[in-house]
Chain A
Amino acid sequence: QSALTQPRSVSGSPGQSVTISCTGTSSDVGYYDYVSWYQQYPGKAPKVMMSNVNKRPSGVPDRFSGSKSGNTASLTISGLQAEDEADYYCCSYVGRYSYVFGTGTKVTVL
Chain B
Amino acid sequence: QITLKESGPTRVNPTQTLTLTCTFSGFSLSSTRVGVAWIRQPPGEALEWLALIYWDDDKRYSPSLKSRLTVTKDTSKNQVVLTMTNMDPVDTATYYCAHIMVSFGGVEADDAFDIWGQGTMVTVSS
Cβ of A93 within 8 Å of any chain B Cβ, yes or no, is yes
Cβ of A34 within 8 Å of any chain B Cβ, yes or no, is yes
Q: How many residues of A are counted as interface, with CB atoms below 8 angstroms from the partner's CB atoms? A: 27
Q: Known contacts A89-B47, A104-B46, A104-B47: does B60 contact A98 (CB below 8 Å)? A: yes
Q: Known contacts A47-B116, A97-B60: does B111 contact A34 (CB below 8 Å)? A: yes
| A-B Cβ contacts below 8 A, count | 72
Name the interface size band of chain B. Answer: 20 to 34
Instruction: Identify which of B47, B102, B114 gathers the most chain A CB atoms within 10 Å of its CB.
Output: B47
Q: B46–A3 contact, CB under 8 A?
A: yes
Tell me which residues across on chain B come within 8 A of A101, comparing CB atoms. Answer: 39, 46-49
Per DSSP, chain A at the interface is strand
Cβ of A51 within 8 Å of any chain B Cβ, yes or no, is yes
Tell me which residues across on chain B come within 8 A of A38, comparing CB atoms. Answer: 47, 113
Task: Please list the residues of chain B having a beta carbon within 8 angstroms of any beta carbon in chain A.
Answer: 37, 39, 45-49, 52, 54, 58, 60-63, 96, 102-103, 108, 110-114, 116-119
A sample of 21 cross-chain residue pairs with beta-carbon separation below 8 angstroms, ordered by A number, consists of: A1-B63, A38-B47, A45-B116, A45-B118, A48-B110, A48-B114, A51-B112, A52-B108, A55-B110, A91-B47, A91-B49, A91-B112, A96-B60, A98-B61, A99-B37, A99-B49, A101-B46, A101-B47, A102-B46, A104-B45, A104-B47
